[in-house]
Structure 1
Amino acid sequence: MSKATALVTGATSGIGRATATLLAAAGWDVWVTGPDAAQVEATATQLSCRPLPMDVTDRAGVAAAAKAVSNLDVLVNNAGISPDPEVPLTDAGAELFRRTYEVNVFGVVTVTNAFLPVLRRSPHPRIVNLSSGTSSLAWSTAPNPQFDHHQAAANNGRLAAYRSSKTALNALTLLYAQALADDGIKVNALAPGIRATNLNPTAAARGGDPAEAAAAIVRLAELPDDGPTGQVFSYDGTTVPW
């Protein structure tokens, strides 16, 4: 597909920033977004991108931001949070889940629906959602090479809000792919692997280069018209089981 315009949410750091960097370097016209206007402006200047301050949890703000974008080929729903990752499920209250889902699930719905009108005008529209290998129910119940499901963090339900939000995001990815098939919009999700980001202390301390995950996002952004849709891929190109 010819390179045109992309929008990356949560693009001021981590995988989002790495994705914007790669897209811009490849000649894309890139909108970088985030809730902190100063950080968005600084990132856009550093990467030669377009700034678009936007909090994915602010429906009015997202709607206003969408009006500023006249053409769009690829939407990368990268923004995500993992608050209080050390809290066991049995101690976590519903508020922890609400905070997490507000960004990781409801934010994706808000942003996607707001930008659909402009995406529909693209000749090769794509949506890429940032998921997680820990979202896989299959991998959560059987040994797998992606993460150690026997570790204490899994056994006592730590990260349950984050992991379940990404499971919900996988479902949304499939449902959007089905709903938008007639529009030619391909919708896929990516499990990036553990990356050195500010998502949580484990990611910051043990994660790999965010650029590797970003490269996988770019591949999904550049899918040909006969490419897959409604799937969850690992950063290495293999599919992630539901």
Structure 2
Amino acid sequence: MSNQRPLAVVTGASSGIGAATARTLAGAGFEVICAARRTERIEALAAEIDGRAVACDVTSEDSVAELAAEVGDELRVLVNNAGGAFGLTPIAEADSEQWRQMYEVNVLGLMQVTRALLPALIASGDGVVVNVGSTAGRIAYEGGAGYTAAKHGTQVVTETLRLELYDQPVRISEVAPGMVHTEEFSLVRFGGDQAKADAVYAGVRDPLTAEDVADAISWVATRPAHVNIDELVIKPRAQAAQHKVHRE
């Protein structure tokens, strides 16, 4: 393993956008620390891309501290991808624990990882933070209040970081995908109900793939040092808005 490669960290790297991003950044010349809770998956991924696997639960301060210790003194890129949606119920039937979990991972987890790794990002002289948000962080839709509230939080934390670090050698960006068909996102949201998960994408010929989003993240992270992509919203052609999707 060469120490000459710049270092990147990707949270939620065990599947979907996170795993695709780890592969894409490795292909762009980074040594990637793959961070997630499922150690078998990230160990296999790290072996594939000549990276490192670090078991990490972003909602645990102790776990995040262990990640920071593994990172060391300098870090070039942090991709805060760990997140998730749980449930699709109206507020009148909301599950408090699901809302709490969404806020913990999408907002508090993002904050804890960023806070822990900022010194190393600044020390690199050209750090980049890419937070993976969502179009759900920009618009409301029925049944989505818990997730949209959490992803609005992701967006606002990103905007605030940009203001607070304006005089530091760190760029702050958000990549906000719309409809992405990954193997787990909707399945997790619907508690393992495959039929409900499949219905989300029914008739949509070409939703985004994890690789599409990873490509966007890598592009943001590899701009020249003076270029800050504040936000990049990426949707499939079939999706004009949350409620306006072409289905065949």
Distance (Å, rounded) in 1 between the aligned partners of 2:127 and 2:176? 21
Counterpart for residue 130 of structure 1 = 132
1:195–1:203 CA contact under 8 A, matched in 2: no
1:188–1:232 CA contact under 8 A, matched in 2: yes
SS in 2 for 1:6: strand
How much has 1:214 moved relative to structure 2? 0.6
Identity %: 33
How much has 1:203 moved relative to structure 2? 6.8
Q: Report 1:16-165 matches (<5 A).
A: 16-70=18-72, 71-84=74-87, 86-137=88-139, 140=140, 154=141, 157-165=142-150
Counterpart for residue 214 of structure 1 = 214
Structure 2 unaligned spans of 5+: 188-195, 202-206, 236-248
CA deviations over 1:195-233 (Å, ceiling 9, x no partner): 12211147766243211111100111112222135x321
How much has 1:66 moved relative to structure 2? 0.4
Distance (Å, rounded) in 1 between the aligned partners of 2:91 and 2:232? 27
Aligned residues: 216
Distance (Å, rounded) in 2 between the aligned partners of 1:160 and 1:108? 19
Aligned partner letter, 1:16: G
Counterpart for residue 233 of structure 2 = 234
How much has 1:41 moved relative to structure 2? 1.1
SS in 2 for 1:182: coil
2:85–2:147 CA contact under 8 A, matched in 1: yes
SS in 1 for 2:167: helix
Runs of 4+ in structure 1 over 6 Å off:
none
2:84–2:106 CA contact under 8 A, matched in 1: yes
1:196–1:203 CA contact under 8 A, matched in 2: no
SS in 2 for 1:117: helix
How much has 1:173 moved relative to structure 2? 0.3
- Structure 1 vs Structure 2 CA RMSD: 1.9
Aligned partner letter, 1:225: A
Counterpart for residue 150 of structure 1 = none
Return the TM-score normalized by structure 1.
Answer: 0.83
Counterpart for residue 147 of structure 1 = none
Aligned partner letter, 2:152: T
2:125–2:170 CA contact under 8 A, matched in 1: no
CA deviations over 1:106-143 (Å, ceiling 9, x no partner): 00000000111111111210000001112114xx4xxx
SS in 2 for 1:228: coil
CA deviations over 1:158-196 (Å, ceiling 9, x no partner): 121111111111110010111112112111111122112
How much has 1:9 moved relative to structure 2? 0.2
1:195–1:209 CA contact under 8 A, matched in 2: yes
Aligned partner letter, 1:174: E
2:173 paired residue among 185, 188, 208: 188
Distance (Å, rounded) in 2 between the aligned partners of 1:183 and 1:3? 22
Distance (Å, rounded) in 1 between the aligned partners of 2:219 and 2:125? 17
2:130–2:174 CA contact under 8 A, matched in 1: yes
